[in-house]
Amino acid sequence: MTNLLDLHHVSKTYTRGLINAKATVALQEISLTLKQEDPTILTVAGESGSGKTTLAMLLLGFITPTTGQIIYRGKDITALQGEERMAFRREVQAVFQDPFAVFNPFYTVDHLLSVPIKRFKLATNAKAARAKMDEALTAVGLRPEDVLGRYPHQLSGGQRQRINVARALLLKPRLLIADEPVSMVDASLRASILETLRNLQRDHGVSIIYITHDLTTAYHIANAIIVLYRGGVMEAGDVDQVIKSPQHPYTRLLVDSIPWPALDRRWGTDMIKAREAGSSSVGCPFRSRCPMAMEQCKTQPPLYKINKTQAAACYLHAGHPEIAAERLTELLPVRTQIEA
């Protein structure tokens, strides 16, 4: 079966200014695969500026890669036209950080939900359209009578974000790109919205790329994780494995920077230096902050396969076999393990 999604060595460089053009490498050599037959939740984690939103924009086809290819169900997304392009627009949906972003304050929820129904001709009459809305709202844990007919300001942040998810769900997507979907939602509502996303994967077979700076939520929702730093993959693997036993100094920093009631361990990351600006773009991107940095780190480390479900791009693991970036996703588990 063709894969749902293949990224082949995708890089994105932004250039600003015409005279003194300044280039920012936002993503470097990202390869990954999602299979159609195994809907999964893959987390892409990293601090602000690590290239997460750039990846989301690329996956949605809003921007194009500087080098590399993004293949959706066997076709390069930059070459999609006509019906194929329409199918891509329907099947790949997004939920963004700001639950207000897609709302026009002058339109009711009904209007917001009816736009995609009309655009993609999902219903032939008003009754069928209403049935679709009810179905999508119910799937995200909302009661249609509580939200239909209301204006955005009459809804809570949590309700708005659920409506965003419902709007994506209406289109029966195969892939949902969720870029920090709960970072602007009250902490008390986060868990239930994440639960909703997990149900979409489990009950509706939607694959989800969950983008976050917050490893706690990744741990609760995802099967697999890719850790980015300045656009490069630092570590990847099974989410439990990576979070409980991080192997890259950067992942250790991330894991240690948040309180973990369930995990009683420390790595002594106080040694990790503050982020330095303007360091060189060759070699390991993390080396200027890394307490373990060695001479070798001036050249880009390959990914080392540390165990069956984990790899890290760090010379500390040089004894392990190397794994090609495009084979990284072979390490990633696909089934949801449900945990409390």
Q: Footprint of Mg ion on this chain (CB under 5 A)?
A: 52-53
CA 181 to each of CA 184, 223, 303, 332: distance values in angstroms, whole numbers, following the listed order: 7, 17, 29, 22
For ligand ADP, how many residues bind (rule: CB under 6 A)? 12
Q: Smallest gap, in angstroms, from Cβ of residue 197 to Mg ion? A: 18
CA 336 to each of CA 11, 53, 298, 309: distance values in angstroms, whole numbers, following the listed order: 29, 24, 38, 15
> Which of Mg ion, ligand ADP, none does residue 283 bind to, with CB < 5 to 8 Å depending on kind?
none
Per-residue DSSP letter, 141:
T
* Alpha-carbon gap, residue 274 to 94, rounded angstroms: 33
What mask of x and - would describe binding to ligand ADP in positions 53 to 82, judged by CB under 6 A? xx----------------------------
Give whichever of 54 and 247 is closer to ligand ADP, judged by the CB atom. 54
Residues with Cβ within 8 Å of residue 26, at least 6 apart in sequence: 12, 13, 14, 51, 54, 231
When asked if residue 26 is in the footprint of ligand ADP (CB under 6 A), the reply is yes
Give whichever of 39 and 46 is closer to ligand ADP, judged by the CB atom. 46
For residue 141, which amino acid is it? Answer: G
Q: Smallest gap, in angstroms, from Cβ of residue 53 to Mg ion? A: 3
Q: Which residue has the tokens 């373990």?
A: 292
Q: Smallest gap, in angstroms, from Cβ of residue 39 to ligand ADP? A: 24
Give whichever of 192 and 281 is closer to ligand ADP, judged by the CB atom. 281
Give whichever of 96 and 219 is closer to Mg ion, judged by the CB atom. 96
CA dihedral 77, 81, 84, 86 (to 10 degrees): 100
Among 9, 35, 36, 49, binds ligand ADP (CB under 6 A): 49
Three-state secondary-structure class, residue 313: coil
Q: Which residue has the tokens 């570590």?
A: 235
Q: Smallest gap, in angstroms, from Cβ of residue 285 to ligand ADP? A: 11
Strand partners of residue 303: 323
Per-residue DSSP letter, 131:
H
> Which of ligand ADP, Mg ion, none does residue 16 bind to, with CB < 5 to 8 Å depending on kind?
ligand ADP
Give whichever of 61 and 283 is closer to Mg ion, judged by the CB atom. 61
In 80-143, where does DSSP find H-type helix? 82-91, 109-119, 126-139
When asked if residue 22 is in the footprint of ligand ADP (CB under 6 A), the reply is no
When asked if residue 107 is in the footprint of ligand ADP (CB under 6 A), the reply is no
- CB 71: neighbour CB atoms within 10 A? 17
Q: Smallest gap, in angstroms, from Cβ of residue 56 to ligand ADP? A: 8
* Alpha-carbon gap, residue 5 to 209, rounded angstroms: 11
Among 11, 43, 50, 196, binds ligand ADP (CB under 6 A): 50
* 43 in Cβ contact with 212 (< 8 Å): yes
Q: Smallest gap, in angstroms, from Cβ of residue 122 to Mg ion? A: 30
Give whichever of 179 and 323 is closer to ligand ADP, judged by the CB atom. 179
Among 1, 16, 105, 338, binds ligand ADP (CB under 6 A): 16
Task: Find the part of the chain contacting ligand ADP (CB under 6 A) among 48-56, 99-107, 219-227, 325-333.
Answer: 48-56
Q: What's the order of all strands across the beta sheet hosting 175-179?
A: 92-95, 175-179, 207-212, 41-45, 224-229, 232-238, 310-312, 303-307, 322-323
> Which of ligand ADP, Mg ion, none does residue 20 bind to, with CB < 5 to 8 Å depending on kind?
none
Task: Find the part of the chain contacting ligand ADP (CB under 6 A) among 49-57, 104-112, 277-285, 322-330.
Answer: 49-57
Q: Smallest gap, in angstroms, from Cβ of residue 58 to ligand ADP? A: 9
Overall size of the chain counted in residues: 340
Give the interface with ligand ADP as residue ranges (CB under 6 A).
14, 16, 24, 26, 46, 48-54
